[in-house]
């Protein structure tokens, strides 16, 4: 009986270890892709091996002693009882203190280094944590759009950055409700999130009422996957985002395009979709640069269908997946439970027109 229980426990442990493996993990802190993430890795590796040495010594000692002096059949005398051993106790008080003191030196150095003021050429981006999606505003003077007064380039779900340049993020929590919310009726869900892109930086909490900061940089062009790392409500698990790092020339082209207003289709389905969008309820929450749509409760859709904007609605769906987009417009709550986007009971024809409009916003 006891053997069976031990076997079962062993198998459960093995299963738990195995399910944590993924051959193509996109969110591994062990594969840093920029200098800030590398600093964390550089600290992690030696601390990990020190911890391994401590584990092997302590667990090895326990296993050795348990086996070497275990109870044996036919031996019925009680072993000699001892109480206390001053030399041992001083030893195992000082040894861990020394280990911690050694680990503390690089740890504090890394914390200070990561908390340094950003270099003067850093790209400044304000990150807004909503329920449940991330918004990004590029606040530098040279990142203003050509439309609107003082309007910064703004994206939802995807943060686009240039390679090889430090990005200084200012993290703020924003509610998920319309017009800032009304207490007791339509509360503004400003809650704590945690902003995390494992391959580019550590985690940073996003706390209502204050602004936190974090530095990141990507060395290579590519897509990096991020996720909210603190439980923040129903769709916490799908509060994902992506960081798209572009080479400097691709970055310049991206910036130039983002500064332009959204497309204004003049005929066909896309025109119908635009009329429905501007004339309907969409503009209460969404903005499209250059139009009267200027809502801020939902993601900015000015360049919704740009190639860099690869995902939407908390990044659980690909922008180019038209079926997903249709399902989303059909009933947001059916695909993302708790979504603040209401079901407008759109007809198939209305959805077809809206999709055509969204697909024109490149």
CB of 240 to ligand CUA, least distance (A): 10
Output 206-213 pairs: Cβ under 8 A, ≥24 positions apart. Answer: 206/127, 206/129, 206/171, 206/172, 206/173, 207/173, 208/173, 209/173, 211/170, 211/171, 211/172, 212/170, 212/171, 213/168, 213/169, 213/170, 213/171
Angle, in degrees to the nearest 10, between helices 268-279 and 348-360: 100
- Which CB sits closer to ligand CUA, 134 or 138? 134
SS3 153: strand
**Considering only 153-161, 223-231, 256-264, 317-325, which stretch makes contact with ligand CUA by CB under 6 A?**
223-231
Q: Which is nearer to ligand CUA, 239 or 263 (CB)?
A: 239
For 97: left if phi > 0, alpha if psi spans -120 to 50, otherwise beta; the answer is: alpha
Cβ neighbours, 10 Å, residue 133: 25
Strands 204-206, 193-196: pairing kind:
antiparallel
Cβ proximity to ligand CUA: between 226 and 332 the closer is 226
Shortest CB 230 distance to ligand CUA, Å: 5
* Nearest approach, Cβ of residue 129 and ligand CUA (Å): 6
Provide the pairing of β-strand 158-162 with 153-156. Answer: unpaired
Task: Report if residue 336 touches ligand CUA, rule: CB under 6 A.
Answer: no
Q: Which is nearer to ligand CUA, 240 or 303 (by Cβ)?
A: 240
Comparison of 303 and 336: residue with beta carbon closer to ligand CUA: 336
CB of 284 to ligand CUA, least distance (A): 23
Q: In angstroms, rounded to a whole number, what is the distance separating the alpha carbons of residues 234 and 52?
A: 37
Q: Is 144 exposed, middle or buried (0-12, 13-18, 19+ CB in 10 A)?
A: middle
Residue 354: alpha-carbon gap to chain centroid: 29
For residue 30, the minimal CB distance to ligand CUA (Å) is: 23
Residues 224-243, interacting with ligand CUA (CB under 6 A): 228, 230-232, 236, 239
Tell the smallest beta-carbon distance from residue 251 to ligand CUA (Å).
Answer: 28
Return the number of the residue (177 or 270) whose C-beta is nearest ligand CUA: 177
Q: State in angstroms the smallest separation of the CB of 226 from ligand CUA.
A: 11
Site string for ligand CUA, 113-142 (x = CB under 6 A): ----------------x--x----------
Residues 175-214 that bind ligand CUA (CB under 6 A): 193
Query: Rule CB under 6 A: which residues touch ligand CUA?
Result: 129, 132, 193, 228, 230-232, 236, 239
């Amino acid at each position: 009986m006891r053997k069976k229980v031990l076997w079962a426990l062993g198998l459960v442990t093995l299963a738990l270890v195995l399910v944590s493996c993924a051959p193509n993990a996109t969110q591994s802190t062990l594969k840093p892709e920029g200098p800030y993430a590398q600093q964390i890795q550089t600290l992690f590796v030696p601390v990990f091996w020190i911890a391994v040495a401590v584990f092997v010594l302590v667990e090895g000692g326990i296993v050795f002693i348990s086996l070497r002096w275990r109870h044996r059949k036919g031996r019925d005398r009680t072993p000699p009882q001892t109480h206390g051993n001053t030399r041992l106790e001083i030893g195992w008080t000082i040894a861990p203190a020394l280990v911690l003191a050694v680990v503390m030196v690089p740890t504090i150095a890394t914390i200070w280094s990561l908390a340094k003021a950003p270099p003067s050429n850093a790209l400044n981006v304000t990150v807004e944590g909503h329920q449940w999606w991330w918004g990004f505003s590029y606040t530098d003077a040279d990142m203003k759009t050509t439309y609107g007064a003082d309007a910064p380039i703004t994206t939802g779900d995807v943060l686009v950055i240039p390679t090889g340049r430090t990005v200084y993020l200012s993290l703020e929590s924003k509610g998920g409700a319309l017009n800032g919310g009304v207490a007791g009726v339509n509360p503004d869900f400003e809650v704590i999130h945690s902003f995390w892109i494992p391959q580019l930086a550590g985690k940073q909490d996003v706390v209502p009422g204050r602004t936190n900061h974090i530095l990141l940089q990507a060395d290579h062009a590519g897509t990096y996957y991020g996720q909210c790392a603190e439980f923040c409500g129903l769709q916490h698990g799908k509060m994902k985002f992506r960081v798209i790092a572009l080479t400097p020339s691709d970055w310049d082209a991206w910036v130039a395009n983002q500064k332009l207003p959204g497309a204004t289709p003049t005929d066909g389905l896309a025109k119908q979709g635009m009329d429905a969008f501007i004339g309907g309820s969409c503009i209460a929450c969404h903005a499209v640069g250059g139009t009267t749509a200027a809502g801020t409760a939902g993601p900015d859709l000015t360049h919704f269908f740009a190639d860099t904007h690869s995902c939407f609605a908390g990044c659980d769906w690909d922008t180019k997946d038209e079926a997903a987009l249709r399902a989303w417009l059909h009933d947001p709550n059916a695909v993302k439970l708790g979504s603040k986007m209401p079901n407008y009971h759109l007809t198939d024809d209305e959805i077809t027109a809206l999709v055509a409009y969204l697909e024109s916003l490149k």
